[in-house]
Amino acid sequence: MGSRKERTPRKSGILRQEKSKWLVVCEGTKTEPNYLKGVIEFMNTKIPQDMQLDVTITGMGMNTTSLVDKAMELQNLVDRKKREVLIPYKYTIVVFDKDSFSDNDFNKAIQMCEKEGYIACWSNQAVEYFFLLHFFYCDSGIDRKDYKQKIDEQFASHGCSQKYQKNLLKIFHIFYQYGGFIRGNQTSKENS
């Protein structure tokens, strides 16, 4: 019998994800930032403190390509500061609505994000459509003028006395508490 080669010891320990800084640049100045701040707060309650998300959310009041241009400007500012003590953002996310902007403008914004390495997120037609998805799956056309009424109907049918208003500070928490679909509990009338 030949000699047995000694085994290389396994590396012990688990690789841990490093904490990274994220920049989220939103079209809306309050509604989207309020919602996303709630999402980040919620997610951070579910993960260890040393791995919690460090996200800067900025509402710009701009749309599509001008929003991507602003994200590039902010990222360039961070890149210039990189040599200082400041830590640059690892990810940049640009959030906008399809709205009534031309397909050309909308597609150009997405292409700009891809070229710069940004993550493009959008809702069709407005963020309120996305909000409805907290309650039920919907792939039919709903006109944007009907979103508020539909959200109010869902709030009422789930026992929430709050009426939907743009810029609600704790909007994510309301959707999480009353919107069953996000938690996998599809109890709304639309899914019965």
Confidence (pTM): 0.72
Is residue 118 within 8 Å of 96, Cβ to Cβ?
A: no
Is residue 178 within 8 Å of 163, Cβ to Cβ?
A: no
Q: Where are the domains of the chain?
A: 18-124, 135-192
d(CA 2, CA 126): 72
Nearest of 19, 8, 26, 35 to residue 169 by alpha carbon: 35
Nearest of 110, 30, 122, 115 to residue 65 by alpha carbon: 110
pLDDT per position as a tens digit, 123-172: 777 888 888 888 888 777 788 889 999 999 999 999 999 999 988 999 99
Mean pLDDT across 11-20? 60
At the top level of CATH, which class does the domain 18-124 belong to? alpha beta
